[in-house]
Amino acid sequence: MTSNGDDAVQVVPVRHYSRWVGTVVVLIVLAMIIHTIFSKVGTGVNICTRIHAIRHCHQPQRWRFYWNIVFHYFTTFDVVHGLYLTLALTVLAMTIGIVLGVILAVMRRSHSRLLSSTAWTYTWFFRGTPVLVQLLFWFNITALFKTITIGLPFLSVTFLHLNLITLLTPFSAATIALGLNEAAYMSEIARAGLLAVDEGQIEAATSIGMTRGQSLRLVVLPQAMRVIIPPTGNEVISMLKTTSLASAVGVTELLGAVTNISAANYQIMALLIVASLWYLMVTTVLSIGQFYLERHYAKGALRNPPPTPIQRLRDDLKGVASKYRTKRGAPVEVSS
C-alpha cells in the first residue's frame, strides 16, 4: 500500500518486439557466417580402397577458406618483411602529408594572395588526379628529369644537384607520391580544425602580446586538435590500405609479398586472406590508438569523457546482473 492508501503500483517493462526480432535475425546471420568460415568441403577427388574385396570410396575434406595454408604462410619471412615495408611506407607518407598539410593550411589562411592561391592550386591538383596515376608518374619521373638542380633561375647559381636515376627507388617514389597526395587532404583537415577555433581566442592571444605565430602554435593548434584528430586517424588507416597500390610500381609491401607467393604456389585466396588478416590486425591497433587520442583531446570540450571499451563492458555486465537481481514485474512502493 502507498501512503495514500492506494494499491502498490506494478511496474511492467516495455516490450521491444522489433528489437527482439532484429536480435534473432542478426544471431542467425552471424551463426551462418561463422559456420561458413570454419566449414569444410570436399576436394572433388575420390580416394578408393579395397578392403576384403569390397571397394570403399571417400572424398577428403579441406577447409573452405584454406586455414591450414593461411596459418602456414601467416608469419613467413616474406610476409613479415612486406608488413614492415607497409608500416614504414605508412609512417613516412603520413609524416610528409601531415607536415606539408599543416603548412598548406596555414598558407590558405594567409593574407597573401600568392600564398593562399598556391596552396589552393596544390590541393586542387593532387585531389583531382588518382593516386595510382601519381604513383606511376613518380615511378617514371626519370623519363622527364634525369637530374634535378636547385638554384637561382636564370643565374648560374646552384645549391643542390640530385641524380634521380640513382636516388629514386620504387620505395622512395611511392613514399613521395603517397605523401604529396596525402598533404592535399590533410591541408583541408587542418584548415577545418583551424576554422573551428573561435576568433575570440586569437584576439585574446593578440591582446596579451602574442605574435601571430605564437597564437597559432600555443593557442589555436592545441584547440584545433580536437577537430583534427578524428579525420587524421581515418587518414592513417586509409593510408595503411592505400599502400597496397605501391605493388604496382614494384614495392614488395604486404600485398606485393603475398601476390608473389601466390604466383608461385597458385594459392591465391589463401594468401589474400593472409594479407587481409594482417591489415585487420594493424587497423584494429590504430583504431584503439585513435580512440584514446580522441578521448584525451575531448577533455576540454566534454564534461565527461567517453567511456573506454573496458568501462562499457563493465557497465553492460552490471546492467545484466541488475536485471537478474530484480524480479520483473515486482510491485514498487511509490511514496507521495
Domain boundaries, the chain: 67-310
Contact between 241 and 184 under an 8 Å Cβ cutoff? The reply is no
28-81 tens-digit pLDDT: 999 999 999 988 887 777 777 777 777 777 777 888 888 999 999 999 999 999
Give the CB-side neighbour count of residue 244, counting CA atoms within 13 A: 13
pLDDT at res. 114 = 94
Q: So what's the pLDDT on residue 277? A: 96
User: Is residue 82 within 8 Å of residue 257, measured between CB atoms?
Assistant: yes
Q: Which three cell numbers stand for residue 336?
A: 507521495
Q: How many CB atoms lie within 10 A of CB 122?
A: 18
Q: How much is the CA Rg of the chain, to the nearest whole Å?
A: 30
Among all chains, which residue has been given the C-alpha cell 591489415?
279
Question: If DSSP codes are grouped into helix, strand and coil, which group holds residue 41?
Answer: strand
Q: Please report how many Cα atoms fall inside a 13 Å half-sphere around the Cα of residue 235, on the Cβ side.
A: 25
Contact 131, 245 (CB under 8 A): yes
Q: For the chain, how many residues are written?
A: 336
Residues 168-210 have pLDDT tens digits of 899 999 999 999 999 999 999 999 888 888 888 878 888 888 8
Q: Which of 51-60, 72-81, 107-116, 229-238 is predicted with the least confidence, judged by mean pLDDT?
A: 51-60
Residues 295 and 311 sit within 8 Å (Cβ to Cβ): no
Residue with cell 537478474: 324
CB 178 within 8 A of CB 246: yes
Residue type, 97: G
> Distance (Å, rounded) from C-alpha 162 to C-alpha 149?
6
CATH superfamily for domain 67-310: MetI-like (1.10.3720.10)
Question: How far apart (Å, rounded) are the C-alpha atoms in residues 89 and 270?
Answer: 24
